[in-house]
Structures are given as structure tokens and as C-alpha cells.
Structure 1
């Protein structure tokens, strides 16, 4: 009878054993891969330490030489004077404004003094002293975060979850910000108010924006007229309503028999309050319209007092960081020295393979 018993099946045990073996091999390859990465990074760090230790004297000499050159250039070179204003865009003039500034800079770089003088409305001598005209948006990190939060609310949940703040900042158009700062750099110190005003007037005289401004003001004026007429009718209605109430009270007092409807006084007060509230809303909207009319009175306007005289500016911007002229030359000399030393070290390393070629 024992011969008829089924033989034990070990296929499941074999499959599980192979599965665990595959998982173990995968983890082993995974840790070895990251181990090689960290080992390579450690070797690179050690190489850099010994590289700087070997050439520390040369690097220090280069830094000192850069400081000396930067100090001498800062003290004895001709200063660059900078003046700036902040402008507010009441219309979407950003791209036109940036293109206009770029056009002016192209003329300045080409040393086309006559065209620069004609475009900016200045003399030839002033046009010859201009170095550059720059523009950049005025916005803080806190404002950018608020803009991102407001923009994200308008997206669906799926797209909002994958659209990061970094992506928003990267894809934001700097021309769209309402406030922009315009800077003028020149070789000599002179009154730049005329140049700023001419830049703003150039945008304000654009036919497209002038038509948009006229249409907006016409719409606001029509709304204001309609609300004022509604306000007059509301005043007349309130006066008439009060007269009706007074007449009804007089009739009630003069009659021998009167019927009082419970809650009628409360209903009269409610209707009177609704009329009063409606009048307040109309007056509030009239105030908003007047404010909009004032905001729309100019297409592009200067919101800060123009600096009649510029200030000396010798700072240089590197990757969004502003450094002084002395620090700039120190970093420049040190960077060039390190690159040259690394290049020589690389060539020395290639010499090992010269005999094999």
C-alpha cells in the first residue's frame, strides 16, 4: 500500500530558493553600484585635497595678484555712474519695453551716437558717454511664492502636483511683472531724467496701447455714467418710499378702525435697509471706477523719483551674485590658475599612454 503514496513535490521549494537568490543578487549589485559611486567620489575628493595641497602656494599667489590688480583697477580706472527708476506697467507692455531697451543697447554697442541721441532725445556728447541701459523685474521671493500659490490654484490636481515651484520660476516671463527697474550706466555723471522720461514716453505713444487705453477709459466712463443714473433713481425711490410710509401712517392714525398686520413694520424696515445697502454698493463701485481711471490714465509710469545724478558703480554680477571689482579679479585669477594647473595635470596623466600609442 505504501507504494501507492504520491512522491513529495519539491518544485515550489526550488522556485522560492531561486527567487530569493535573484533578490539577493539584485541587492548585491545595487549596493555595489552605489559603493563604486561613493568610492569614486571619495577618490575625487582625496585627489582635490592633494592637488590643492601641492599647489597651495601658486593659488595663494594668484589670489593676491588678483586682489592687487582689482584694487589698482578700482582706484585708478574711470568710474561708471549708475542711476535707476522703477516703472509700473498698467498694461502688458513688458515685451515692447524689453525690446526697446535691447534696441537702445545695440545702438550703444555699435557706437552709433547720432541714432542714440535721436532715439533718446539727448545730445551727441551725452550719447557718447552711455555704457548700457538695463532692465530687470522687481519682485521678492515672498511675492514669487504667492504668485506660484495663486497660479497653482488654477491648475487641476494632477498637473498641480507635478508642477514644482522651480519649474514655475524657470518658466516665468520676467517681462510680465508689473514693476520693472530701469538702470542707466554712463562714463560721466549727468542728469538722466530726460532719458528715463523719453523711454516711458516712447511706450506711451505706441498706437496699440493708446487705442487700448482709450477703449478702457471709455468703458469706465460709461459704467460711471450708468451707476450715477442708477444712484439718482435710487435716491428718488428712497424719497418716494419714505413718503408712502409717512402717508400710510397718517391714514392709519386718522381712521376710526385699523387693522394691524403683524410683522409689517419689520418688512418696511428691511426694504428700507436693502435700498440703503444698494446705494452703498453703487457708491463703492463708483470709487473703484475712479481708482481704475486713475490707474489707467497712463500706460507706463514712473513710480519712483528719478535720480538726477548717478552713483559710482563698480560691482560686477556673476551668476546672479554681485561682487566688487577687487573680489572679481581675485576669483578670476584663482579660477584661471586652477584651470591651467588641472590642464597640466591632465596632460601629465596622458603622457603615461604615450608609449602605448
Structure 2
């Protein structure tokens, strides 16, 4: 019976050996699979290089034709003029502003010139010349990071770990950003200042925002009034302390005029000094409130304008970048030529298997 005891141990060693062998084979197969993928990618790259080399002349001709086409269209097409303004939203007017621009765009799409003329307050020929309205936020990546940092500070500590930067950007709305750029494109060089003012006026006349503005201004002015009254009392009290100090100095009895309180680090300060610091704090707070009042005077305001009468817009958008028409059509024709040649090559390759089907 004792001779049979080692047998299970030998069986376990055999099983472990087979297990390690299976693991080794699995890794070998995995590495071979990854290697085959890289090999196929390399072969595809080499094939693509030779394919482009073979058809380089055709692609070059397509590029030249695209440049010539861009020049011709640039010379013969009707010019498009654009003008833009930057606005600052002092209230949460973004959604309303975007809806207004969307409404104008729908009127243009429907060719409802009479309604567009009426809402913009312009002549019919000026309304008919407008091709499009655009609006986009003006914000840099650094400002987005600052907004994200500010947003995290408003959350509970346990929630900050569940929110990342990409999720924040995905959930943020473009109309929530304070600065927005509004652009008008038209067929004629008109003065767009009237149109821009009409857009701003449509937001300023909103009943809800006007009511919010009135409440904010009333509250801020009450705060400013309270601080101003406190400053008057502070100045009066400060004058009393100064008179007391002068009087005590004349009597060589400074100890009776000063009220000393202990601070950390065995430092001390007089009541006069404390009152002076408090006075500075109140004045700084008053300046901030007055600045806020100045901001709240306008629901939305124009901070800058570019070319009220419009400048020629001859750029084309490709993959999010604005480029010249010559380069645009050159890239388009080269791309179409490449795709066509590639499709013909694939069809010829499939023709070889036609008889086998």
C-alpha cells in the first residue's frame, strides 16, 4: 500500500507539465498571430507604395486639374462675403441665442425672404442676399481645462474620481460658453451691423432675462448701498480713534488710547489698524460689486466686430480645416482618382476568381 503512495504525485507532475506546455503553445500561437498581422500590414504598405508609384503620373495630372479648376471657379464664381462679431453672455442666454440663429437659418433654407426681412429689419434685397448664419463658441483648450477644474471643485470628493476630462467635454454644451462668435455670409457686400444689432436686441428684449437682470441689479445695488453706509461709519469711527491717539500723544499717555489684542506669534495690533484693514476689505468688495453691476447692465453685449461690411470668403472646409479652393479641389480630385484606380484594381483582382464561382 505504501508503494502506491508516490503515484498520485507523479500524475500531478505530468498534469503540470502538460499545462505549462499548453500555456507555452498558446503564447507561441499568439506571438505568431501578432507577427502575421504586422507582416500583412507591411506587405500592404509596400503594395500601396508601388501602386502609388505606378499611377503617380495620373495622380499628378489629377492634382494639376484640381488646381486649375480651383482657379477657374475662384475667378468665375460669385463672391461670398462674411462678417462676424464676438458676443459676451452675461446671463445664460446661449440656448436662446442658438435657437434664434437656427430660426434664421431655417428661413433662409425655406427661402422665406419676407419673414427674414421682417425679423431682421432690413430691406428685401439685403435679406435676399444673406446665404447663411453661423455661431460657434470662442474658447481655448486652456480655458476648457480651467472650466473642468472649476467644475470638479463644485463636486463632492467621492464624485470627482468618477468624472474625467473627456466625459466633461462630451456633456458640456457649446451654447454654455460665455463668448460666442456669430458670422453672416452673403452674396453682396452689405453693412451687417444692423443685422447683428437686431440679433442682440432679440435676446435683450426677452422678458425672462430682463426680469432676472432687474433682480440682480436691485440686489447688487442694495449690497453696494449697505457697504457704502458701513464705510461712512467706519470712517467716522476711524476719525475718533485718530483723535484719541493724537490726544493721548499730547498727554504722553499712549497706553490709555490703545486697545491691544493678542494675535498668534505674540503679535499685536491696535483697534485702529484692524479698522483700517476692514475698511480696505469693504472698499475692495465695493469695487467688485460695482464691476458686477457694470457687467449686469447688459444681458448680452458685443465685445468685438470684424468687417461690418463683409470681406470675401473664398476658403473651403476640409476635415475641419479652412484651405484655399485650389488646394481643396486638388485634394478632392487626387482622392477621387486614387479611389477609382484602387476600385479598378480590386475588380481586376476579383475577375481572376470569376470562373471558380
For Structure 1 versus Structure 2, the TM-score category normalised by the shorter chain is 0.7 to 0.9
**Structure 1 residues 73, 296: CA separation in 2 closer, same or farther (over 3 Å shift)?**
same
Match of 1:350 in 2: 350
- Partner of residue 257, structure 1: none
Relative to structure 1, the CA distance from residue 73 to residue 206 in structure 2 (aligned partners, 3 Å threshold; closer, same or farther) is: same
CA separation of 1:261/1:163 partners in 2, compared to 1, >3 Å: closer, same or farther?
A: closer
The alignment partner of 1:84 has SS state of strand
Structure 1 equivalent of residue 231 of structure 2: 231
Seen in structure 2, the aligned counterparts of structure 1 residues 229 and 262 have a Cα distance that, compared at 3 Å, is closer
CA shift for structure 1 position 141: 2.6
Give the secondary-structure state (helix, strand or coil) at the position aligned to 2:122.
coil
Shift of 1:156: 6.3
Does structure 1 retain, via aligned residues, the 8 Å contact 2:244–2:257? no
CA contact (8 A) 2:245 2:258 kept: no
CA contact (8 A) 1:59 1:334 kept: yes
1:223 is displaced (CA, Å) by 0.8
Residues 191-232 of structure 1 deviation map (CA, whole Å, 9 limit, x = unaligned):
111111111111111111111111110110111121122222
Query: What pairs with 1:185-196 in structure 2 (closer than 5 Å)?
Result: 185-196=185-196
Superposition map of 1:311-350 within 5 A: 311-350=311-350
1:144: which partner in 2?
144
**What stretches of structure 2 of length at least 5 have no aligned partner?**
262-267
The 8 Å contact of residues 135 and 181 in structure 1, kept in 2 or not, is answered as yes
Partners of 1:231 and 1:52 in 2: how far apart? Answer: 80
CA distance in 1, matches of 2:351, 2:216: 74
Contact 2:138 2:181 in 1 (8 A): yes
Per-residue Cα deviation, 1:24-81 (whole angstroms, up to 9, x for no partner): 1221122122123212212321232232223222222211111111111112211111
Q: Deviations over 1:162-191 (max 9, x none)?
A: 754444434432211111111111111121
Match of 2:120 in 1: 120
RMSD of equivalent CA atoms: 2.9
TM alignment of 1:55-66, pairs within 5 A: 55-66=55-66
Which residue does 2:264 correspond to in 1? none
Count residues in correspondence. 350
Asked if 1:89 is matched to 2:89, the reply is yes
Length-normalised TM-score, structure 1: 0.87
| TM-score between both structures, scaled by the size of structure 2 | 0.87
How far apart, CA to CA, are the structure 2 residues paired with 1:319 and 1:36?
A: 33
Distance (Å, rounded) in 1 between the aligned partners of 2:24 and 2:182: 63
Q: Give the gaps of 5 or more residues in structure 1.
A: 254-259
**Whole-Å Cα distance in 2 between the matches of residues 301 and 100 of structure 1?**
16
Distance of 1:58 and 1:190 partners within structure 2: 44
Structure 1: distance between partners of 2:306 and 2:50: 54
Render the CA deviation track for 1:126-184: whole Å, top value 9, x for unaligned. 01111111111112233233333444455567765575444443443221111111111
- Structure 1 SS opposite 2:111: coil
Change (3 A) 1:265 1:232: closer
Point out the more displaced range, 166-175 or 205-214: 166-175
Q: Is the 8 A contact 2:129 2:188 kept in 1?
A: yes
1:11 and 1:5 map into 2 onto residues whose CA distance is 12
Check whether the contact 2:84–2:183 (CA below 8 A) recurs between aligned residues. Answer: yes
Tell me the equivalent position of 2:32.
32
